[in-house]
A = this chain, B = another copy of it.
Amino acid sequence: MSQPKYEQPDPNLDLILERVVDVSPELVWAAWTKPEHIKKWFTPIPWKTVECEIDLRPGGMFRTVMQSPEGQNLPTNEGCYLEVVENRKLVWTTALAPGFRPRNIANYPFAFTAIITLEPHGSGTKYVARVLHTDVEGRKKHEEMGFHAGWGKALDQLVALAKTM
């Protein structure tokens, strides 16, 4: 089955983190979908994720609150899940509020949709996080904010946590 053009990665608009990790897809999935786990790995230390709420189904809420190293809480992030395929694929966006309502994204530097895919790889997982932006400017802003270092460090934390689970 050929993939339509609009589902193929676009290097101008997408940022991708791809890595083989030595924990199973089931553990990576658990880390991504349980609030008590998200709070332990989602934000690169010394930042923290101090609140998390998950309603794991299309249209459901993915809510987090981050805290700066100085102890200040940032505004709440409320994303919306789009696709939930247990142990294999998780899609959520900041462009819609929970319940699929379009969001006014003019107040944000950029909106994105994250597509996390997990594929068994030996006893580990081929992990791909593809992050889709509206336009080149959005992709650049996210890249300059430190996407690769940030998402990479968070993944290190996820893997370290998964090994204790």
Q: Which residues of A contact B (CB under 8 A)?
A: 4, 6-7, 13, 55, 58-61, 82-83, 91, 93-106, 111-113, 115, 132-135, 138
Task: Check if A101 sits within 8 Å of B132, measured CB to CB.
Answer: yes
Give Cα A134 to B107, complex, Å: 13
Q: Which residue of B lies closest to A101 (CB)?
A: B132
A112 to chain B, nearest CB (A): 6
Q: How many copies does the complex hold?
A: 2
Q: Is there an interface contact between A4 and B55, defined as CB atoms closer than 8 Å?
A: yes
What are the 3 tightest A-B residue pairs by CB atom distance, in nearest-first order? A95-B102, A102-B111, A6-B99
Q: Which residue of the partner chain, among B101, B112, B115, contacts A134 with CB atoms under 8 Å?
A: B101
Q: Which of A95, A97, A98, A103 has the most CB of B within 10 A?
A: A95
**CA gap between A13 and B7 in the complex, in Å:** 31
Q: Is the CB of B58 within 8 A of A58?
A: yes
Report whether B106 and A100 are in contact in the complex, using a CB–CB cutoff of 8 Å. no
State the CA gap A104–B112 with chains docked (Å).
Answer: 11
CA distance A55 to B91 in the complex (A): 18
Cα A133 to Cα B96 in complex, Å, equals 10
